[in-house]
Amino acid sequence: MEKILTSFIDVEAPHTIEVARAHGVYDGLKKSIGMDRDELIASFKASGLRGRGGAGFPCGVKMSFMPKDPSPQRPSYLICNADESEPGTFKDRVILEKNPHLLIEGMMISSYAMRCSCAFLYIRGEYGHAARVLFEAVEEARKAGFVGKNILGSGWDCDLVVHRGAAAYICGEETALMDSLEGGRGNPRLKPPFPAQAGLYGCPTTINNVETLSCLPYIVEHGPEAFAAIGRNERNTGPKLFAVSGHVKTPGVFELPMGIPLMELIEDVCGGMLRPDKKLKAVIPGGSSVPVLRAEECQDLPLDFDAVAERGSMFGSAAVMVMDETTDMVKVLARISHFYAHESCGQCTPCREGTPWLEKVLQRIARGGGREGDLALLDDMAARMMGTTICPLADAAAMPVRSFVEKFREEFEYYIKHGRSMVSAG
Amino acid sequence: MYGEEFEKQVDQIVARYPQPRGALMPALHLAQETHGYVTPAAEAWIADRLGLKAAYVHGVTTFYTMYRTGKTGTYLLQLCTTVSCMLRGCDHVLEHIKQRLGIEEGETTPDGTFTLVTVECLGSCGTAPMMQVNDEYYEDLDIERTDALLDALANGESPKPGPGPLRVIVE
Ligand SMILES: Cc1cc2nc3c(=O)[nH]c(=O)nc-3n(C[C@H](O)[C@H](O)[C@H](O)COP(=O)(O)O)c2cc1C
Ligand code: SF4
Ligand code: FES
């Protein structure tokens, strides 16, 4: 497959505007300006592009929710979500550091189509290097007339503001991100109202992931059909960045068509298992909050939104975490639960109380002090957390617990019975 | 109190946002860069400048892990211990650093050079184990690379950040 998002990241200084323009970046923006805005949005719908931030909502459909008559009193905003904090996810960082102009181009195309007067790029605080690259890239783009006043002589003004977060996973949730961007604590808001009705500063807002926005220039230049021709079927189209980590020989970020089989990704793209004599045990296919898959469930599995959902897990952020047979699943789950307990914003009781409880019980089992009834307790707590909170973080904490305990039950039982790991017992 | 330069920068930040409050997080980052952490005096100054209550500003400071409210060593070592780093052996790296520096998590060496903390996934899982030192990422850390890094930092050098030559697993 021709690379679209990472085509020139290996050349010298890919982040500079000269190199980017030499590779055709901003040609799509030039083409968009002057095009009919609604036709642009229709072409994004026709491309089948689904959001790359986790939920897979169709990008063009989301854009069509925005008002057609923004005013200076009630302007429209675009936000690019570069919070990238779901454990195992490190794909957006490649675009942010190596191809920032493609992202800026995508943001400006989207802002144009939705008649926005300002676009914000919210980047996680720890990405200091990427933030410096972006500040510089935005200034380059401003000088070249792609950002700011009277863009490319069209009379349309749109600024682009880069905003650094400060290490809070919850700020990746779209409404928490808006609170954070407004200068507050990152507390998710109740929906409705949805962001397109009342988002940032109460104004109509659309929020998209870095990778989603970076797909737009290609669609403008090559047409929705060319984009839709990549991938497994019409519901799972386009190129995708897969971030593979864990027990493979060559982990990393790989741009491949949507729907690449999981085993092909592990064996051909990532060089197979890290230790060739150790067998595959499990894969978390979409970031730490999605249900885990046993090795046998990984066979013949195309990686895309629908195929992974059919297999009972979620495609999420396409963060593929690979575990071999030496992995202690109880310890992995305890570690995952620690993450969610640390990151709960504390607004909802089931999440604020439930996430540390899950962690406490799991740590107790992992330290050899597990009690009879702990597995039922975990399941009960997880069930009470699902679907009962303002945002999906509580579900994100509960889902791995239920799937790990269900699929690797014998390991948890062994720990509780013998006070130690079945894996290291050999 | 912070001098003209600081004020000028805060005013420039304010101009970027639809409302002054939007400038709060960047102003806190700036205060932290200036003093090493967010001091109560900085919070009060920023609150005043943005028309907010100091208590509100403190509420925001303490919501975010990255804003520090106390002094740290010259080098803040933030080792990631989330799942992908765990699978690649970050626990061994953590033990090694603790032993070498003679400190526990959250502590600072007596000479004030290093503070050690563990953090959640830093988005560098393909080059695990890894840690952030002040504002830079050091990746593919085996024991040898960790030692070389700490040696260099202790000598006041700034080693090149980024990935190592090879993906590693620490056992
Ligand atoms: C707890 C939580 C954390 C999230 N973190 C991120 C994130 O780091 N990056 C991201 O793009 N989306 C994240 N999302 C999803 C966003 O809320 C939102 O759906 C997404 O940014 C929309 O963009 P898309 O349609 O392009 O995928 C998160 C959601 C939740 C509930
Ligand atoms: S579910 Fe958790 S993180 Fe989400 S709003 Fe409620 S308390 Fe906050
Ligand atoms: S798990 Fe350590 S960087 Fe992601």
pLDDT at position A166, please?
98
* Inside any domain, residue B167: no
> What pLDDT sits at residue A425?
57
User: What's the A419 CA to ligand 1 centre distance in angstroms?
Assistant: 38
In a domain, B171, yes or no: no
Dmax (CA) of chain B: 53
Q: Are residues B12 and B46 in the same domain?
A: yes
Evaluate the omega torsion of the peptide bond into residue A192 and state whether it is cis, within 30 degrees of 0. Answer: yes
CA of A251 to the centre of ligand 3 (A): 12
CATH number at residue B108: 3.40.30.10
Q: Which residue has the tokens 């996934």?
A: B121
Q: Is the pLDDT of residue A1 over 90?
A: no
Residue A35 has a pLDDT of 96
Q: Are residues B86 and B150 in the same domain?
A: yes
Asked if A201's CB is within 8 angstroms of B83's CB, the reply is: no
**Whether residues B85 and B131 fall in one domain:** yes
B109 assigned to some structural domain: yes
B39 is a domain residue: yes
Contact A252 B59 (CB under 8 A): no
A170 CA from centroid of ligand 2 (Å): 8
Min CA distance, A169 vs chain B (Å)?
9
User: How many CA atoms lie less than 13 Å away from A397 in the CB half-sphere?
Assistant: 34
* Count of pairs with CB atoms under 8 A, one residue in A, one in B: 145
Nearest chain B Cα distance for residue A225, angstroms: 33
Confidence band of A424 (pLDDT split at 50, 70, 90): confident
Residues B30 and B81 in one domain: no
pLDDT, position B1: 56
DSSP of A98-125: H-HHHHHHHHHHHHHHTT-SEEEEEE-T
Determine the residue among B121, B160, B169 to mutate to test chain A binding: the one whose Cβ has the most chain A Cβ atoms within 10 Å: B121
In angstroms, the CA A303 to CA A316 distance is: 10
Instruction: Please state the ipTM of this predicted complex.
Output: 0.97
Same domain? For B84 and B132 the reply is yes
Domain coverage including residue B12: 4-63
List the single residue in B with minimal CA-CA distance to A178.
Answer: B22
B87, B133: one domain? yes
- My answer on whether B85 and B139 are in the same domain is yes
Q: Whole-angstrom Cα distance, residue A128 to residue B76?
A: 14
Q: How many residues make up chain B in this entry? A: 171
Check whether A168 has a pLDDT greater than 70: yes
Q: Tens digit of pLDDT for each residue in B69-116? A: 999 999 999 999 999 999 999 999 999 999 999 999 999 999 999 999
> CA-CA-CA-CA torsion for A96, A317, A266, A327, nearest 10 degrees?
110
Using CA atoms in the order A87, A92, A96, A98, what is the torsion angle rounded to 10 degrees? 110
Residue nearest to atom 4 of ligand 2 (CA): A391
Which ligand number lies closest to the CA of residue A318?
Answer: 1
pLDDT score for A396:
97
Q: Say if residue A63's pLDDT is above 70.
A: yes
- What's the pLDDT score for residue A78? 98
Q: Give a yes or no: residue B118 inside a domain.
A: yes
CATH code, domain carrying B54: 1.10.10
Does any domain span residue B120?
yes
Contact flag A164-B65 (C-beta cutoff 8 Å): no
Burial class (CB in 10 A: 0-12, 13-18, 19+), A395: middle
Same domain, B107 and B130: yes
The number of distinct structural domains making up chain B is 2
Rounded to 5 degrees, φ, ψ at A147 are: -140, 145
Assess whether B83 and B52 both reside in one domain. no
Testing ligand 3's pocket by substitution, the residue of B78, B79, B82 carrying the most ligand atoms inside 8 A of its CB is: B82
Contact B144, B67 (CB under 8 A): no
Is B127 inside a domain boundary? yes
Domain final residue, candidates B38, B63, B88: B63
- If asked whether residues B148 and B83 sit together in one domain, one would say yes
Q: Report yes or no on B105 lying in a domain.
A: yes
Query: By three-state DSSP, how is residue A149 classified?
Result: coil
Ligand 2 site, residue A243, Cβ cutoff 6 A: no
Residues B58, B79 share a domain: no
Rg (CA), chain A: 22
**Residue B79 sits in the same domain as residue B148:** yes
pLDDT in tens, A360-408: 999 999 999 999 999 999 999 999 999 999 999 999 999 999 999 999 9
Determine which of A139, A326, A335 to mutate to test the interface with B (most B C-beta atoms within 10 Å): A335
